[in-house]
Structures are given as structure tokens and as C-alpha cells.
Amino acid sequence: MESILFNLMLVGFLGIASQWAAWRFKLPAIVVMSIVGLLAGPILGLINPEEVFGELYEPLISMAVAIILFEGSLNLDFREVRGLGKPVFRIVTIGAFLAWILGSLGAHYVAGLSWAVAFVIGGLFIVTGPTVILPLLRQSKLKPRPAAILKWEGIIVDPFGALLAVFAFEIINFLISEDAPILKLVSFFAASLFAILLGWALGRFTGFLFEKGHVPEFLKSPVVFALVLAGFSVSDQITHETGLLAVTAMGMTLANMHIASISDMRHFKENISVLLTSTIFVMLTASLTVDTLLEIFDWQIIGFVLLMLFIVRPLSIWLSTIGTDLSKREKILVGWIAPRGIVALTVSSYFASVLLDKGFKDASILTSLTFALVFATVCAHGFSIKWLASKLKLANDEHPGVILVGGSAFSTEFAKALRELKIPTLIADSSWQRLYSARKAGLPFYSGEILSEKTEYRLDMTPYDYMIAATELDSYNALVCTSFISEFGRNNLYQLNLRNQSGEDLEEMVHTIGGNIVFQDGPTWEELNKRVECGDVFRKTTVTEKYPFKSYMEDIEEGTILLLIQKPTGKVEFFRNEASPRVEEGDIVVSLTTRKKEMNKINERIAENKETERNR
């Protein structure tokens, strides 16, 4: 028991440490987890999860698959998919079918797999791994159009890849079996229909409980977790492999009920999925043997991986998007980027044991084959997406951007100052009227509620690294910052200072649920807007060796508000109420100050012009 507990702790620690290292050094997380798992398992021999966990190993893998597939299907809101147009529809239908057929042919003729195993694994390999591709999209900062296509392809195809593999296995098994009665195939489809109905019923039941208030807030996540596992287990107990159908149907049902608690379930599945993805992937790679790793270098496996990378994916995308409005550059990028992730490896391991039990001996290489494809695609696509997108001019190469929540005179003038520094800026507000000055100035804006579910799909946030909640409502500013912690990180979320700080424990509340109080001395919304309306200006000053920051601070006028600095690299650092960034040579300091200095300069120029005319 102590050995199991210690190994479980070690696997979890290695998984989360890998995620942190990937975030810290901006690397694809799955690459780091793969290397860590291989080092801890077959290379150094520190752990062997399959041997240690014994009979618990496969149930843990199955549970992870169920939760991860539920995660993918919970994002499948058909209202948003319909708005993405013909290219996405073609890619997830015709493109997925072509990838299945071409991949299966390659698995049979190149990798040497039997038809049954080839079509099963070919169906599974259409999955492009949303758990891998979404972090890559944020890291690479693609333009909205290709980013949306890759994002939704991953979300839509993810749940159906494993299901296609299930159906392919059952149909091929029926066709090649001489004594297989048709009743067996009919019973499988009946069980599959039951799994779909069960998943739908569980989804409707969960939504009903949440909408009617029959489940308290603190139990919502545990209830969803329990019902997902219940749906998976019951369906799988009746007919093996149909549990995947049940959890997918349940997630899709919940996603399209549009209930108020959907955001809570998203937080639940994101947190659980990160933990399971990290733990299970390290478990899978650590359980590989040295023989499996050596098998990866077999010419058939290498040939299959190269075929999938350079022929199957580009060809399926190119053929499926004929007649769409995708440009050649977009087709090249989308045709190259298709990283396989945790779903492919976990489900592959799941099917490897099933196929071996059915007598398909060639299924023994599925783990090696899948790991080779996963590792190759993640490395190749993870390290090339930013470079290729930049070469194809499909990346946002601008400096890190800022979203200003709240239209006002200050927001408009501040956005103008940021635009002069080539910092992408967007003003978001639910009121068309409050956006008037931004629209008149020709600034980018978003008219809609920033906290709405639809914002996630309608507003591309990849160009923006920072968010400032700058409305006149303190509570709303705090709510916005709290809601976007997972997207931006607490250190990149800011709000204006509270207008009334006399409330009991108010300061402590801001530190726990709001964002960082932005700008030096924490000016309020009224103060900033009053100063802008009275004619105060935004001044940009470059710190040099001859004019250091100390001299700058001595020269600035009383009442000047320091706003931010821009590093030579383009990185932005904001002055905060309780902390100031380190200002160095080459930095540009942006401040809000009176027009006194500008008026003095104008008067000096007028005097110089008069003196010049007098001398003439």
C-alpha cells in the first residue's frame, strides 16, 4: 500500500511539475511530460506504474479517457460551430473521413497492420488533440481565422475519433469473422444507441438538477464527476467500449442546454483534465518498456509517421477545402498543424488490450506506433507553428496587447497612447453608447458583455496578454478580473482603484477576489476621466543613459500618474498601487500629466519663431 501511495504521489508530482516547466519555459507540455515519463520509467527505472498499480492501472486509464472525452464534448456548442462557416464543416466531415481512409491504408500497407487494426487506429488518429493544440495556439498567437479553424477542429473531432475507432473495430470484426452472427453486430448498435440515450438522459438530468437548484454550488462539480463515471461504467459494463459514447453524448447535451452553471462545469473539467492529463500521460510513458522504445525506430513505424505528417494530413486538408474561401497560406498552415495528444495515447492503450484479447496479435505495436506519432507531431508542430505562421504572415507579430474593459474618455485616450507604441489594444463594453468615442477614434472595440459565454467564441483574445477592468463599477471590475484568471493569469489582470475604501475588510477582499490595483497611487475611475476631460495628456518618455529614470522622476510635475513602461522587446509592465516595475535604460515610460509642460514647449516655439522672424 505504501508503494502504491508513494508511486501515485510521484506520478502526480512529476506530471504537475512537467506542466509548470512547460509553462515557465514556453514549451509544449506534452513534450515535457513525455521526456519526464521516459526518464522516470524505462530509462532510469524509478517507477513502473503498470506493475505497481496492477489491476488499478487500466481502470485509472479508462477513467481518464472518460473525463477527457467529456471535456472535449462539453465544448461542443453547435450554435458557435455553425457560425464558423464552410471550411470548418468540410474539415471535420470530409477531411476527417479522408484522414481516416488514408491513415488506415497507410497503417496497413506501410506499418503492416491487419485491416481490422489498421481501420481502428486510423479512426483514432483523426483526433488532433485539443489538450495540446489550444496551448499551442495561445503560444503562437495565430490570426483569428486559422486559429478558429484549428481550435474547433480539435474540439469537434476529439470526441468522435475514439467513437469512430469503436465502430470501425466492430464492423471490421464482423466482416472478417466467418461465424459472426449478424445478431452480434445488431446488439452492438443497440448497445451503442442505449449508450447515447443514457448519456443524453444523464446530461438532461444534470441540467435539470442544476437549473432547478436541487444541487448546492459546492456539490455541482462532484455530482458531474460522479455522473460522468457512472455513465461510462454502466455503458461499458453492458457492452465494452460503448462507455465512450455515453460520456460524449452527456457532454454534448450539457453544452447545448446553455444552462447558467456551464461555466462552473468548465472550471471543473479544466482543473480535473489538467490533473488527469498530467498524471495519466506520465503513467503511460513511464510504463513503456525499453523494447517498446526500440520498436519505435522500426522502419515501418517511422515510415508511417512520416506518411501521416507529410502526406495524409496535408492531402486530407487540401482536398476537403476545395471550393472554400481558405487561402493557400491558410491551407498550408492548417494542413501541417495536427498534433496528437493525450486522447490518442490513452485510447490507443485502451484499444491495444481489447484488440489483443480479440486475437489481433499485431495490436501489440499500437502503443509504440501511437507514441511515435504523438511525440513526433507534438515536437514537429509545437516547435514549428510559430515560425511557419510568421513566414506565412498568419501570426500576430505585434507586441503583447491590452484589453480595456469599459468605454470612457480615459479608455479611448489611453488606447490611443498604446496604439502609438504599436501595442494592440481593444476596448470592450456592453453599451454601444459608451463605445462612441472609441468608434469615432477608429479604435478596435468589442460590443458585448465580456463575461458572456459567447465572448469565448466571438472574441479572439490571443493577441492580448493583459486585461484592465476600467469601468465605473468596482464590483464589476473585480468580477471581470476574477472570471479571467484562468485565461490571463492573476499577474496580468488589473482593475482601477476602489472609489470607496471605507468598507470593512474591503482591502483584504480586493487582494483575494479582484485584480491588481493598476497605476501608481491607485487613481479611481472618476479621477482618471476627470483629468482626461480637463485636458491632461499621455506623455511617453524614453529613459536613456544621459537621462536616467531618477532624473525623470525629479523632473515630472506634481500629480503625474505613472501608468506603464514598455521594454525594448515590446513587453509591457504596469505601475501598480503597491509595486513599481524596474525601469532600465531603453524603457519607455508612459504617464498621465497636465498640459503645462506642453504649453511651455508651445510658448518656447512661438518665442523662437518670433525671434527668427525678427532676425530676418
Instruction: Give the span between the Cα atoms of 372 and 298, in whole angstroms.
Output: 10
Residues 171-208: tens digit of each pLDDT: 766 666 666 567 766 777 788 889 889 999 999 998 88
What pLDDT was estimated at residue 506? 46
- Beta-bridge partner residues of 538: 592
One DSSP character per residue, 332-344 reads HHHHH-----HHH
The mean predicted confidence, pLDDT, of the chain is 82
Same domain, 334 and 476: no
Instruction: Give the span between the Cα atoms of 58 and 402, in whole angstroms.
Output: 46
Establish if 257 belongs to a structural domain. Answer: no
Establish if 205 belongs to a structural domain. Answer: no
Same domain, 360 and 462: no
Closest to 429 measured CA to CA, from 402, 454, 411, 453: 411
Same domain, 468 and 377: no
One DSSP character per residue, 432-469 reads TTTTHHHHHTT--EEES-TTSTTHHHHS--TTEEEEEE
Number of domains in the chain: 2
The domain that holds 62 is classified in CATH as 1.20.1530
What pLDDT was estimated at residue 398? 67
Split at pLDDT 50, 70, 90, the class of 292 is: confident
Instruction: Give the span between the Cα atoms of 417 and 406, in whole angstroms.
Output: 17
What pLDDT was estimated at residue 300? 92
Residue 495 identity (one-letter amino acid) = Q
The last residue of a domain, from among 357, 391, 425: 391
Closest to 370 measured CA to CA, from 263, 433, 288, 437: 288
pLDDT > 70 fraction of the chain, expressed in percent and rounded: 84
What pLDDT was estimated at residue 598? 53
Q: Whole domain around residue 161: which residue ranges?
A: 2-187+274-391
The domain that holds 434 is classified in CATH as 3.40.50.720
Split at pLDDT 50, 70, 90, the class of 400 is: confident
143-157, 392-406, 452-466, 498-512: which has the minimum mean pLDDT?
A: 498-512
> Is it the case that residue 314 has pLDDT exceeding 90?
yes
Q: What is the pTM of this model?
A: 0.71
> Is it the case that residue 374 has pLDDT exceeding 90?
no
What pLDDT was estimated at residue 252? 82
Residues 467-478: tens digit of each pLDDT: 999 999 888 998
What pLDDT was estimated at residue 502? 47
What pLDDT was estimated at residue 71? 73
Same domain, 429 and 495: yes
For the ranges 146-150, 287-291, 389-393, the one whose mean pLDDT is highest: 389-393
> Is it the case that residue 505 has pLDDT exceeding 50?
no
Same domain, 70 and 156: yes
Establish if 611 belongs to a structural domain. Answer: no
Instruction: Give the span between the Cα atoms of 381 and 375, in whole angstroms.
Output: 10
What pLDDT was estimated at residue 135? 66
Split at pLDDT 50, 70, 90, the class of 425 is: very high
Same domain, 495 and 557: yes
Closest to 166 measured CA to CA, from 110, 241, 111: 241
Mean pLDDT, residues 527-552 taken together? 89
DSSP 3-state percent helix, strand, coil across the chain (nearest 5)? 65, 10, 25
Establish if 252 belongs to a structural domain. Answer: no
Same domain, 570 and 548: yes
The last residue of a domain, from among 391, 418, 442: 391
Instruction: Give the span between the Cα atoms of 225 and 230, in whole angstroms.
Output: 9
Q: Which residue has the higher pLDDT, 37 or 459?
A: 37
Instruction: Give the span between the Cα atoms of 379 and 33, in whole angstroms.
Output: 12
Residues 548-577: tens digit of each pLDDT: 888 888 888 888 889 999 998 888 899 987
Do β-strands 464-469 and 537-542 pair in parallel, antiparallel, or remain unpaired?
unpaired
What pLDDT was estimated at residue 457? 63
Establish if 200 belongs to a structural domain. Answer: no
> Is it the case that residue 503 has pLDDT exceeding 60?
no
For the ranges 79-88, 112-121, 265-274, the one whose mean pLDDT is highest: 112-121
> Is it the case that residue 537 has pLDDT exceeding 60?
yes
Establish if 122 belongs to a structural domain. Answer: yes
What pLDDT was estimated at residue 247? 86
Q: Work out whether the CA dihedral 47, 52, 58, 61 comes out positive or negative.
A: negative
Q: Which residue has the higher pLDDT, 410 or 212?
A: 410
What pLDDT was estimated at residue 306? 95
Establish if 321 belongs to a structural domain. Answer: yes
Mean pLDDT, residues 103-122 taken together? 90
Establish if 22 belongs to a structural domain. Answer: yes
Residues 217-232: tens digit of each pLDDT: 778 778 888 898 899 8
Maximum alpha-carbon separation in the chain: 112
DSSP state of 325: S
The last residue of a domain, from among 348, 368, 391: 391
What pLDDT was estimated at residue 466? 92
Same domain, 387 and 410: no
Same domain, 13 and 119: yes
Mean pLDDT, residues 352-363 taken together? 80
Same domain, 344 and 421: no
Mean pLDDT, residues 342-355 taken together? 76
Instruction: Give the span between the Cα atoms of 264 and 130, in whole angstroms.
Output: 20
Q: How far apart are the first and last CA of the chain?
A: 98
Same domain, 468 and 355: no
Same domain, 523 and 589: yes
Q: Which residue has the higher pLDDT, 460 or 397?
A: 460
Split at pLDDT 50, 70, 90, the class of 1 is: very low
What pLDDT was estimated at residue 239? 73
Q: Which residues of 326-343 are buried (b: 16+ CB within 10 A; e: fewer)?
A: beeebbbbbbbbbbbbbb
Q: Work out whether the CA dihedral 358, 364, 368, 369 comes out positive or negative.
A: negative
> To which residue does cell 506520478 refer?
11
Mean pLDDT, residues 392-406 taken together? 83
> Is it the case that residue 263 has pLDDT exceeding 70?
no
